[in-house]
Each structure stands twice: as structure tokens, then as C-alpha cells.
Amino acid sequence: MSVRVCSLQDLTPGEGLRIDSVTPPIAVFLTEDGQVHAIDDTCTHQEASLAAGWLEDCRVECPLHESTFSLLTGDVDQPPAKRGVRVHQVEVRGDDVLVELSQDAPNLPPGVTV
């Protein structure tokens, strides 16, 4: 089941938007080429918002320790994070951004619970 998380107008190309209305929070990104992606917002290494990270080539860099996560697969490419994040299916219907949340268990950093 998909949930409306924001309007397309709420997104800025090259930046992320943290969505707190779901648990755990997700980050929605609008790439420079107009694609919309959604991943879990919390870095798997330490509690940091990936929506506040730097986006480049469908990867977001954690603002704390430079691990980068793929918006397509959720995979992490370098330490200190060792586990990837969940990727969520996105559908844009008109101006609405709809997300179908992954049913997989989230990979949260130590000490963070849902």
C-alpha cells in the first residue's frame, strides 16, 4: 500500500526531504534529472539524517562520516557504515509523491529503535 508523503513541489533538485510521518523516517530525493527516490533516512553507522547529506549521481553522502548510499539499491560503498539502507518504491501521480514502504526490517544504527 502506497502512502502520500509529499508534493512534488516540496522537493528541490539535488536535495533530500526528511519525512517524519512514517516510522522510521524516510528521505525523499529529487535528482537533477528529475527522478524521485526514497530510502530510510537514518545512516546505519550513527544517527544522522541522510536527507541532510550531499546528493550526486544517485548516491547520497552521510553528512557526518562520508559513507555514501545508493538511491537505487540502498548499498553502502565505504566505511564507517557497513550496512545499507532500505529502498522504498516511489510513484509520482500528478503532483503527489507516493511511497510504498519496504517490508524488510530497517538497518538502524546502534542504540536507535523504532
Question: What does pLDDT average to over the chain?
Answer: 95
Q: What are phi and psi of 8, to 5 degrees?
A: -60, -30
Q: How far apart are CA 108 and CA 114, in angstroms?
A: 9
pLDDT score at 99? 98
pLDDT along the chain (114 residues), means of 10: 96 97 96 96 95 95 95 95 97 98 94 82
Q: How far apart are CA 92 and CA 55, in angstroms?
A: 20
In the chain, what are the domains? 2-100 (2.102.10.10)
Q: How far is CA 108 from CA 9, 21, 97, in A?
A: 29, 17, 24
pLDDT digits (tens, 9 = 90+) for 52-66: 999 998 999 999 999
pTM: 0.96
